[in-house]
Amino acid sequence: YLISFFYSLLSGSETFAPVSPYLIEKYGSEMNAVTVQLICSAVIGFVFAGATVIFEFDSWSILRQTVVHFFILGAVFIPAAWFCWWVDHTVKSIAVFFFIFIVIYAVMWIGQEIAGQQKIHSINDKLNRHHQQKQ
């Protein structure tokens, strides 16, 4: 939905376009295009949600978990973006889209890492206070 919103906003249109005009042209009607986009979006959602299980593999390093997670998400999201015409079919557009994907992924990963470190710090503080009270 956000992709559709920003696509409509950045295209300079005064109206909301639920799907790319190119997708409508490719599938013959707005309803067909919306259906294709809905299916792609659902697949993205399921894969993104399911891929978080990678971070439960305690035997893997955080680097390995992150790299595998990144490639799984990219392997689904970038082709879906291409297929749904969320990105123009040019090398430059794909490169820019991929760069934005990397930046967003990195920002979210760093945010999760910071939040995780704060949670660990909070738990350690509570354990230390509890230990000091017992002495």
pLDDT tens column, 47-103: 999 999 999 999 998 889 999 999 999 999 999 999 888 888 999 999 999 999 999
SS3 124: helix
Nearest of 46, 42, 41 to residue 3 by alpha carbon: 41
Beta strand residue intervals within 1-135, DSSP E: none
The model's pTM is 0.72
Radius of gyration for the chain, computed over Cα atoms and rounded to the nearest angstrom: 21
Question: What is the average pLDDT value for the chain, to the nearest integer?
Answer: 89
The residues, ordered by sequence, that sit 6+ positions from 84 with a Cβ below 8 Å of its Cβ are 19, 20, 23, 36, 37, 40
- Taking only the tens place, the pLDDT of each residue in 93-104 is 999 999 999 999
**Are 52 and 70 contacting, i.e. CB atoms less than 8 angstroms apart?**
no
- DSSP state for residue 53 in the 8-state scheme: G
User: Once rounded to an integer, what is the mean pLDDT over residues 27-35?
Assistant: 91
- CA dist 117 and 57 (Å) reads 18
